[in-house]
Amino acid sequence: MASMKLVWRNLMRHPLRSVLTILSLTVAIFLICGLRTLITTLNAGVANADNRRLAVMSSTGLFVELPMKYQAQIDRLDAVEQTTKFQWFGGYYRSPKNFFAQFAIDPATLFSMYPECQVPPEQQQTFLKNRVSCIVGKGLAADYGWKVGDTVPIIGALHPHPENKAWEFYVAGVYRSDAPNFDNRTLFFHWDYYEKTLESGGVTPGVGVFSIRVKPGTDVPQVIADVENLFKDSEQLVSCETEAEFQRQFVTMFGNIPLFVGWIGGGVVLAILLACVNTMLMSMREQTTDIGILKSIGFSDRSMFGLLIAQSLFLCTLGGALGLLLARGTQPMVSNWFAATFPGYAITNGTYLFASAVTLGLGIAAGVMPAMQARRLRCVDALRGMD
Amino acid sequence: MSQAMIRVQAVTKSYRRGGETLVVLDKLNLQMEEGRFYALMGPSGSGKTTLLNLIGGLDQPDAGELYVSGENLSDLSKGELANWRAANVGFVFQGFNLIPVLSAFENVELPLKLTPLSRKERREHAEHALKLVGLEDRMHHRPKQLSGGQEQRVAIARAVASDPKVILADEPTGDLDRKSAEQVLELLVRLNREFKKTILMVTHDPHAAAHAQSIVHLDKGQLGSIVDNQPMALGPK
């Protein structure tokens, strides 16, 4: 190796070109971090799913309601330890742009079924006692500046209030969850309030999803079969799945997002690779005579290969490192942007490692072709400036 | 009589240009003694630069054998040839051929990076070489901040920094004005007389050749003559 000084000075022959290439790499690595985080965020729910929890929904689809009476029949199965129910409310806060998830739930069973939902005990007690109250995730509370004691009006787009007004919920508590499969940007309110209010308008509510927790050591596939068989002659056929499978289907409900995002990421890597190869080829062409000089002095072909690879690695590592810093620095902001669609957006260590590996791979791949040319270049040809 | 520093035995070198084979050196035999200053002259295309490149191990002959400093260059692999160049030969080119992004000092230090010298020793050697060519006050200047004559003197400092036995100069005064050319020639004569370097200088200029102890004439790839010469006295400093 000639020296790191020579590597740096060669890159600074055309500072603007090098800076633009470095900035392109910065943006590319930032995008790769972001895109991969979308995939890891989507998959986090699957990876962290509780293997004793099952989801029961209509075999027709998630938005077809099941009769409430099904819960009692499921409860009677020996393997079932507990059940609870969820109904998607589909409302918004003041304006349709303020959209987030709201569920009508059974407060008596929610906390034991989902211990990852952490609410201070006194707030939990308030929530249990007050049927028009709700609990909100800490992310949601932060987004809208809600605090315990506030009354939150929600317009029921999917389930309008019979009196044609907003549903009002008293904020009894703010929950937090450290589990990726339990989102911090949801509002949960009493099933009882939901049911009674709709019935007052002549509507009989149904259930979107029953969640089951089976007893330890249970043969899960057998329970799934038992639940589905239980309703095979009923008005609504059901589909029973593990929580992981349910999460997976939820992810793929919008199409194969991981594949789509992966393609975009691959395109970004390919585009930046071509840009880096171009930069390095131009750089090598400018250094042709210098390579001849260095070889004539006694530097080996191998060291010329190393010189060009080092330049490429330096360029890519600098751009990549800036991209990683940008991704890390902007994570809270990006997480807020994606709060509604990709809750729990957080760049994992695996993503940082992946992006670092991509950076190194780019550095080597972009440098190999010019480095091979530098290695093969005959000294006399190089001195004549022939590349 | 001194022993042969350079021995060229039946060396042939040809190039293919536009489908034709052009024989540049044709079974050339030549011997050069250690510690002498040779001027290599001849018309364009006579094979002067080709011979210089072969002796310097920058190129390899099609046939024949080349012994420089007792080493048969044909026996060396590419890597060994690079190491051999680093230890035995210093090059001075017509176009100076300094690395433009490095300072005069850094250019001179380059060949020393291939030696086991410490950083401090490298610095001392490079400074000494620059002092030898009278450019110690320009050591931190980049090539574009130097005149042509100064650039060539830096190139000479680089050529001698690692103390090689042989200095090969290809038209070293070709791009210089008369005064700068004279300074460069005086430097080469000094290196030959004081430091006993074997110098082979390709030139078209009879005035430059007059500084050498022997003038070798090449013609159509073959040896024309070797004429011993009474070198010109060094001019005033």
Chain A residue numbers with beta carbons less than 8 Å from the beta carbon of B114 are 297-299
The sign of the torsion formed by the CA atoms of A41, A47, A51, A57 equals positive
pLDDT per residue over A152-182, tens digit each? Answer: 999 998 999 999 999 999 999 999 998 877 8
Give A317→chain B minimum CA distance, Å.
Answer: 22
Q: Report yes or no on A276 lying in a domain.
A: yes
Chain A residue numbers with beta carbons less than 8 Å from the beta carbon of B102 are 5-6, 9
Q: What is the dihedral of CA A369, A374, A375, A379, to 10 degrees?
A: 160
CB contact under 8 A, A297 and B158: yes
Chain B residue numbers with beta carbons less than 8 Å from the beta carbon of A2 are 110, 113
Asked whether residue A75 falls in the same domain as residue A123, the answer is yes
Q: Report yes or no on B218 lying in a domain.
A: yes
Q: CB-CB: which of A6, A13, A299 is closest to B114? A: A299
| The predicted structure's pLDDT at residue A287 | 94
pLDDT per residue over A11-60, tens digit each? Answer: 999 999 999 999 999 999 999 999 999 888 888 777 777 789 999 999 98
Asked whether residue A306 falls in the same domain as residue A201, the answer is no
Q: Report yes or no on A119 lying in a domain.
A: yes
Query: Which CATH number is B196's domain given?
Result: 3.40.50.300
Q: Report yes or no on B171 lying in a domain.
A: yes
Asked whether residue A309 falls in the same domain as residue A226, the answer is no
Give A346→chain B minimum CA distance, Å.
Answer: 44
Q: Report yes or no on B129 lying in a domain.
A: yes
CB contact under 8 A, B85 and A298: yes
Q: Report yes or no on B151 lying in a domain.
A: yes
CB contact under 8 A, A9 and B102: yes
Q: Show which of A200, A235, A270 is a domain's final residue.
A: A235
pLDDT tens sequence for chain A (387 residues): 457 889 999 999 999 999 999 999 999 999 999 999 988 888 877 777 778 999 999 998 878 899 999 999 999 999 999 999 999 999 999 999 898 899 999 999 999 999 999 999 999 999 999 999 999 999 899 989 999 999 999 999 899 999 999 999 999 999 999 887 788 889 999 999 999 999 999 999 999 999 999 999 889 999 999 999 999 988 889 999 998 888 777 767 666 778 888 899 999 999 999 999 999 999 999 999 999 999 999 999 999 999 999 999 999 999 999 999 999 999 988 887 876 667 778 899 999 999 999 999 999 999 999 999 999 999 888 988 765
CB pairs under 8 A between A and B: 65
- The residue range of the domain holding A320 is 4-45+256-383
Q: Report yes or no on A215 lying in a domain.
A: yes
Judge contact between A258 and A43, C-beta under 8 A.
Answer: yes
Chain A residue numbers with beta carbons less than 8 Å from the beta carbon of B100 are 290
Q: Report yes or no on A245 lying in a domain.
A: no
Q: Two tokens at A26?
A: 């910065």
Asked whether residue A129 falls in the same domain as residue A183, the answer is yes
Alpha-carbon span A172 to A189, nearest angstrom: 10
Q: Report yes or no on B20 lying in a domain.
A: no
Domain total in chain B: 1
Asked whether residue A16 falls in the same domain as residue A86, the answer is no
Work out the angle at residue A163's Cα, subtended by the Cα atoms of residues A162 and A167, and round it to the nearest 5 degrees: 80
Q: CB-CB: which of A6, A293, A298 is closest to B114? A: A298
Judge contact between B8 and B33, C-beta under 8 A.
Answer: no
Interface mutation target, options B48, B52, B76, B85, chain A, most CBs of A under 10 Å: B85
Asked whether residue A23 falls in the same domain as residue A114, the answer is no
Q: Report yes or no on A244 lying in a domain.
A: no
pLDDT per residue over B167-194, tens digit each? Answer: 999 999 998 999 999 999 999 999 999 9
Q: Report yes or no on B110 lying in a domain.
A: yes
Asked whether residue A379 falls in the same domain as residue A271, the answer is yes
Alpha-carbon span A216 to A228, nearest angstrom: 20
Asked whether residue A214 falls in the same domain as residue A277, the answer is no
| The predicted structure's pLDDT at residue A43 | 80
CB contact under 8 A, A297 and B78: no
Q: Report yes or no on A246 lying in a domain.
A: no
Q: Report yes or no on A292 lying in a domain.
A: yes
Alpha-carbon span A330 to A325, nearest angstrom: 8
Domain total in chain A: 2
Q: Report yes or no on A250 lying in a domain.
A: no
